[in-house]
Structure 1
């Protein structure tokens, strides 16, 4: 007699990552490289726009802190829509 053990895993909505998660990780990694002495204390996905027929842009707002000083930073990640290859990453300081 052969016993077969099946394990079925059901994904719940809380397990699913949003479509912008990959870009959020990139935004935080690049910010840590550019601002190594500041901590990221908050994170917001602003949205995605279609820049050209072939490129899109994800924007994130990160709140950085160094000591008592806080600043807000917009991180724009432009990428090829079809291949998701990063074209450009830019940083823009904004109001907290």
Structure 2
């Protein structure tokens, strides 16, 4: 019983020593405060508030591609889509491509809709549809 009490007492002393807080100096408090509210938060605030380049374009051209695909195919048959990517041509024009799941005669087909446009003016030059199966 005495051994058990000594082990418990020793564990308590060790735990107290490990968790004892050192008194903070004014200088260490200032450094900690600066670290918590300084450059890191400014960078975080900037990263969170500014969307990645082209993010708004992706949404805009996705809506255009969806509307045009629904026009070409029965709108009830167009189920969902994925973004296939962006190609920038040498002349500066851009092609945004989307893969749509389209039900045709009871069978699912993939239609690739590509929109050729001018990125600055958002002028559509061409819309291409390619049935992939």
Normalised by the length of structure 2, the TM-score is 0.54
Q: Deviations over 1:48-96 (max 9, x none)?
A: 110232200100000011452211000000001221111100100114x
| Structure of higher CA gyration radius | 2
> In structure 1, how many angstroms separate the alpha carbons of the residues matched to 2:90 and 2:74?
32
State the shift of 1:43 in Å: 0.7
Unaligned runs of 5+ in 2: 1-47
Q: Deviations over 1:23-52 (max 9, x none)?
A: 011111001111126522221001111023
Aligned residues: 80
> In structure 2, how many angstroms separate the alpha carbons of the residues matched to 1:37 and 1:80?
27
8 Å CA contact 1:44–1:61 kept in 2: the answer is yes
> In structure 1, how many angstroms separate the alpha carbons of the residues matched to 2:65 and 2:107?
21
By relative contact order (CA 8 Å, sep 6+), the higher-ranking structure is 1
Unaligned runs of 5+ in 1: 1-12
Q: Which residue of 2 aligns with 1:47?
A: 85
- Written as runs of structure 1 = structure 2, the 5 A alignment for 1:39-78 is 39-66=77-104, 68-78=106-116
- Written as runs of structure 1 = structure 2, the 5 A alignment for 1:73-84 is 73-84=111-122
Structure 1 residue 36 corresponds to structure 2 residue 81: no
> In structure 1, how many angstroms separate the alpha carbons of the residues matched to 2:113 and 2:80?
13
Q: Which of the pair is proportionally richer in strand?
A: 1
8 Å CA contact 1:40–1:63 kept in 2: the answer is yes
8 Å CA contact 1:63–1:71 kept in 2: the answer is yes
